[in-house]
Amino acid sequence: MDTSLLGRSEHKLPVSPDEAKLETFPNRTLGRNYRITLNCPEFSSLCPVTGQPDCAHVEIVYVPNELCIETKSLKFYLASYRNHPLFNEAIVNRILDDLVKACAPKQMTVRGEFGARGGIQLTCEARYPDFEDEDQAECATGCCH
Indicate which residues carry an active-site annotation: 47, 54
Question: Any idea what DSSP says for residue 120?
Answer: B
Tell me the C-alpha distance between 46 and 24, whole Å: 27
Q: CB of 99 within 8 A of CB of 17?
A: no
> What span, in angstroms and rounded, lies between the C-alpha atoms of 13 and 31?
35
CA angle at 45 for the pair 24 and 19, rounded to the nearest 5°: 40
- Identify the three-state secondary structure at position 59: strand
